Each structure stands twice: as structure tokens, then as C-alpha cells.
């Protein structure tokens, strides 16, 4: 029996492009806003929580175990333990999975889980060589020793490390995320035009969904002037295929197809969900959002990481005893248009299923009409620590609106992994 749990309620902050209106709001402040609101809307006494688990990729040095900071500042009593998880882009889903494992084992009944990220505030870093040199200078006692230290200085030491660029590059295969998308565009022959068309759709769908998305969004009053941010800052009004076509490929200047326009945006945001067991769900003071039927994580080659959703979905469906055709609604994270399109192609391919998924027939079709119906990360952004949780929240809200029973949410993960959740509304 696959471990399950209930998503009782959830809330997220607006997602805003990095360097935009949320740039002065630290990640743990975004997390606090989402956590406080999900507790308030549920009228839940935080003392009832057994654990707090958030995903967070770039944890700031002043907030080690940022989830604990979020918990304490959201009024969660000191007695409730908290920890932070990191599975790259699937950190938000990993947090929920960690909650479900604890619930399934009986170690927890009610968990606050989610994710947070401020990609705006990812710092520039000094090199180790510079730090070592400074240390040498400070410990040098005599004037001669100090002179010696000064003489060892090299200007190259001051060149900062750009942490966000390093974070988005896989150390093992040496490709950054965009380059892995180029790999897939070549493998599945996905043209520039196809990617741009997909990107445009993401923006159009997101703009059309503004009103609907407000249901799941809690406004952030952004520092320093407490300006109210109520909607996602990312979807572009008046986006056209022509404007997209003008952009130059970003990751392969000469022969590439992937541009900043058909990639997800670097973004700030947070998500908070309440995960509970059957007893909690039965006694909940409002209708729970939905139930986690099954979930799975899968590994694959880091250079093809974009196909992660297919591998993970295959496992999750197997665990649930369901097929892709049973799924009535899909959320697949739009890391890159090429990557989502590649997933659709791979899922449809018998050859791929036989060679890579250990199945004798194709996984199935992910129809455009029921995929990312309210827009995706290309328009809304991808704050890496929490996107996984956002997919679950958004999927369930839309399943509720359409009165659907089964849905699938899936993510590709930098480093060569995939994550997928099968959600149901009984």
C-alpha cells in the first residue's frame, strides 16, 4: 500500500520575478507569510502540528534551517520540531513526501509542509582563496608577516562566485539547466517555433487565470514600503509570438533554440500546505483539498534531466494502480518549453517506454487541453524551493473547480531526477 495523506488546505504568496517587487523580502519572510496565512485560514492552533517541513534550495547563511525560523515566527510553539529539505527543483514535493512518510508511519498526524525561495537574494560569494588570504592577513602578527600576506594577494581573488549560476549548473555532467533543455530539443526534434508557441500559451493562460489564482494567493506587503502584491508578477500582458521570436538563444548562442522567453523565470515565492492523516481529514472544519493517492521520485541521466516527469509519473501511476489515461488534469512544471514538449513526446512513444520505462507500451498522452490550464512556470516563475508544492496546490484547486477526481503533478529536477504525485478528490 502506497503511503498516503490528505492535503487539508494550502496557500501561496504571489510569485514575482527575481529583482522585482519581492526582491527585498527574505525567503523566510515569504515562508512566514504563507505559513501564517494557511494556519489562519484553517483557524488552526499551531500547537496541534507535529512537524514543520519546508523545501528551500538556497538557504541564507543567517537562517540556517530556515524552516525553523519560519515556524517560530509563524506562532508555531517551540515544542514543534522543524526541518528543511533539498531535492533541487522538487524540494517542495520532497517536503510533502517527508510529511506523508511520517504520517504513514504514525509518527505524525498533522504537518505544515511547503517551500520557499528568494532567488533575488541569492548572494555573490568570495572565493575560498580570498577568504584564506584574508585569514592569513588577520592572523599575521608582525609587520613582516603582514607584508608577506599582502604580497600574496592576487586581484583574481576578488572575482566573485555567482552562486545562482553555479546552483543552476550540474556539477557531474557540467551542463546548466538550459543546456539540458537543448539536449532534449535535439533528441526529440522540438523546434524553436514549437517552443515559442508553447511559451505564449503559458502567458495567455496565466493572464486569463488571474482572478481564479487569487483564491490560492495570500497578498504580500513587500518591504520596504509594505506595497501590497496580490497577483503573480511574471505573466506578461501583450506577449506576442513576434516578440518571442526576436529573442536570441541564451544557452547555445550559435545553434540553440532555448531562449529566456521560452524558459521559466527566476522567481521569488513561498507555498504552505497542511498535510494530515485520515482522522484529521474526517474532523477538518472545512472540505479538505484532496488526497495524495501516490507519489514517486525517479533518477535518470543528469544531462536529460528534463525527462524526469515521465520516469517519476510512470512509477507513481504504477504505485497507484492507475494509468496516464485515468488522469483528468495535469500540472507539469515548465522549466523549459522544450522540456515539457519532450516529456509529452516521450510519454507518447512506445519505443521510449520499452527502452527506458520498462513498459511494453507507451505511458500515454498528456493532452494540451488539460495541461497547465492556468499557466505554468514560463509565465508564473519557478522559485526552486517551492514549485513542487505550488503544482499540488494549483492542481487541486482546479480539480475542485472542474469537479474532477484524478490529477497528476510532475517536475523535472536538476541533477537528473523527476518527481510525480497522483492526487485524487474522492
Does position 43 interact with another protein (CB under 8 A)? The reply is yes
Exactly one of 107, 132, 166, 227 binds another protein (CB under 8 A); that residue is 227
Catalytically annotated residue among 264, 343, 386, 412: 412
What are the helix (H) ranges across 284-358? 308-320, 337-348, 350-352
Does position 41 interact with another protein (CB under 8 A)? The reply is yes
Exactly one of 32, 56, 205, 382 binds another protein (CB under 8 A); that residue is 32
Does position 45 interact with another protein (CB under 8 A)? The reply is yes
Cβ–Cβ < 8 Å for 408, 324:
yes
Exactly one of 20, 24, 60, 73 binds another protein (CB under 8 A); that residue is 73
Single out the segment in contact with another protein by CB under 8 A; choices: 39-47, 114-122, 359-367, 389-397: 39-47
Does position 344 interact with another protein (CB under 8 A)? The reply is no
Give SS3 for 215: helix
Catalytically annotated residue among 56, 109, 382, 397: 382
Does position 68 interact with another protein (CB under 8 A)? The reply is no
**In the complex, minimum distance from the CB of residue 400 to another protein, in angstroms, rounded to a whole number:** 18
- The DSSP code sequence of 132-174 is HHHHHHHH--SHHHHHHHHHT--GGGGPPEEHHHHHTB-TTT-
Instruction: Count Cα neighbours of 135 within 13 Å in the Cβ-side half-sphere.
Output: 7
In the complex with another protein, the residue whose CB is nearer, 155 or 226, is 226
Say how many C-beta atoms besides its own lie within 10 A of residue 123's C-beta: 13
In the complex with another protein, the residue whose CB is nearer, 75 or 167, is 75
Give SS3 for 63: helix
The C-alpha cell that represents 280 in the structure block: 484529521
Catalytically annotated residue among 89, 264, 343, 386: 89
In the complex with another protein, the residue whose CB is nearer, 73 or 146, is 73
Does position 233 interact with another protein (CB under 8 A)? The reply is no
Give SS3 for 181: helix
Helix (H) or strand (E) holding 131: helix 128-139
**In the complex, minimum distance from the CB of residue 82 to another protein, in angstroms, rounded to a whole number:** 15
Active site residue 382: yes
For helices 27-41 and 66-73, the axis angle rounded to 10 degrees is: 40
Percent helix, strand, coil in the chain (nearest 5)?
45, 20, 35
Q: Which of these, 315, 312, 268, lies nearest to 27 by C-alpha position?
A: 268
**In the complex, minimum distance from the CB of residue 35 to another protein, in angstroms, rounded to a whole number:** 10
The region, left, alpha or beta by phi > 0 then psi within -120 to 50, assigned to residue 106 is left
Does position 230 interact with another protein (CB under 8 A)? The reply is yes
Does position 36 interact with another protein (CB under 8 A)? The reply is yes
Give SS3 for 252: coil
Helix (H) or strand (E) holding 372: none
In the complex with another protein, the residue whose CB is nearer, 74 or 333, is 74
Whole-number Å distance between alpha carbons of 363 and 370 = 16
**In the complex, minimum distance from the CB of residue 274 to another protein, in angstroms, rounded to a whole number:** 14
Does position 27 interact with another protein (CB under 8 A)? The reply is no
Judged by CB under 8 A, the number of residues near another protein is: 19
In the complex with another protein, the residue whose CB is nearer, 37 or 232, is 37
**In the complex, minimum distance from the CB of residue 361 to another protein, in angstroms, rounded to a whole number:** 48
Active site residue 89: yes
The C-alpha cell that represents 151 in the structure block: 604580497
**In the complex, minimum distance from the CB of residue 42 to another protein, in angstroms, rounded to a whole number:** 9
Does position 225 interact with another protein (CB under 8 A)? The reply is yes
Cβ–Cβ < 8 Å for 198, 344:
no
DSSP secondary-structure letter at 399? H
**In the complex, minimum distance from the CB of residue 73 to another protein, in angstroms, rounded to a whole number:** 4
The site for another protein (CB under 8 A) is made up of 29, 32, 36-37, 39-41, 43, 45, 73-75, 219, 221, 225-228, 230
Residue numbers annotated as active site: 89, 382, 412
Amino acid at each position: 500500500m502506497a503511503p498516503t495523506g490528505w492535503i487539508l488546505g494550502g496557500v501561496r504568496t504571489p510569485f514575482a520575478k527575481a529583482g522585482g517587487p519581492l526582491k527585498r523580502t527574505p525567503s523566510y519572510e515569504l515562508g512566514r507569510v504563507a505559513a501564517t496565512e494557511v494556519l489562519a485560514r484553517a483557524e488552526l492552533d499551531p500547537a496541534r502540528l507535529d512537524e514543520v517541513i519546508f523545501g528551500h534550495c538556497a538557504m541564507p547563511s543567517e537562517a540556517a534551517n530556515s524552516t525553523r525560523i519560519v515556524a517560530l515566527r509563524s506562532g508555531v510553539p517551540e515544542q514543534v520540531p522543524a526541518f528543511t529539505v533539498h531535492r533541487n527543483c522538487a524540494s517542495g514535493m520532497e517536503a510533502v513526501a517527508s510529511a506523508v512518510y511520517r504520517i504513514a508511519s504514525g509518527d505524525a498526524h498533522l504537518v505544515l509542509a511547503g517551500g520557499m525561495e528568494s532567488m533575488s537574494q541569492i548572494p555573490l560569494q568570495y572565493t575560498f582563496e580570498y577568504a584564506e588570504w584574508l585569514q592569513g592577513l588577520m592572523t599575521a602578527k608582525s609587520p613582516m608577516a603582514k607584508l608577506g600576506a599582502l604580497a600574496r594577494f592576487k586581484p583574481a581573488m576578488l572575482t566573485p562566485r555567482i552562486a545562482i549560476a553555479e546552483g543552476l549548473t550540474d556539477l557531474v555532467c557540467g551542463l546548466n539547466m538550459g543546456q539540458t533543455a537543448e539536449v532534449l530539443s535535439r533528441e526529440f526534434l522540438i523546434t524553436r517555433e514549437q517552443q515559442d508557441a508553447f511559451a505564449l500559451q503559458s502567458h495567455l493562460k496565466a493572464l486569463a487565470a488571474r482572478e481564479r489564482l487569487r483564491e490560492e494567493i495570500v497578498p504580500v506587503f513587500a518591504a520596504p514600503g509594505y506595497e501590497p502584491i496580490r497577483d503573480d508578477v511574471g505573466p506578461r500582458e501583450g506577449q506576442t509570438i513576434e516578440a518571442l521570436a526576436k529573442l536570441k538563444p541564451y544557452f547555445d548562442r550559435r545553434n540553440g533554440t532555448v531562449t529566456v522567453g521560452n524558459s521559466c523565470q527566476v522567481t521569488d515565492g513561498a507555498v504552505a500546505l497542511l498535510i494530515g492523516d485520515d482522522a484529521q481529514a474526517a474532523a477538518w472544519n472545512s472540505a479538505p483539498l484532496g488526497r495524495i493517492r501516490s507519489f514517486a521520485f525517479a533518477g535518470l541521466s543528469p544531462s536529460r534531466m528534463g525527462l524526469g516527469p515521465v520516469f517519476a509519473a510512470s512509477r507513481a501511476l504504477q504505485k497507484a494502480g492507475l494509468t496516464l489515461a485515468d488522469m483528468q488534469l495535469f500540472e507539469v512544471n515548465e522549466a523549459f518549453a522544450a522540456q515539457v514538449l519532450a516529456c509529452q513526446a516521450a510519454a507518447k512513444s512506445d519505443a521510449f517506454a520499452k527502452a527506458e520505462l520498462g513498459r511494453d507500451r507507451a505511458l500515454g498522452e498528456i493532452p494540451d487541453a488539460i495541461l497547465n490550464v492556468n499557466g505554468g512556470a514560463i509565465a508564473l516563475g519557478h522559485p526552486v524551493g517551492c514549485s513542487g508544492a505550488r503544482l499540488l496546490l494549483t492542481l487541486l484547486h482546479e480539480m475542485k473547480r472542474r469537479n474532477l477526481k484524478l490529477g497528476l503533478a510532475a517536475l523535472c529536477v536538476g541533477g537528473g531526477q523527476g518527481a510525480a504525485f497522483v492526487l485524487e478528490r474522492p
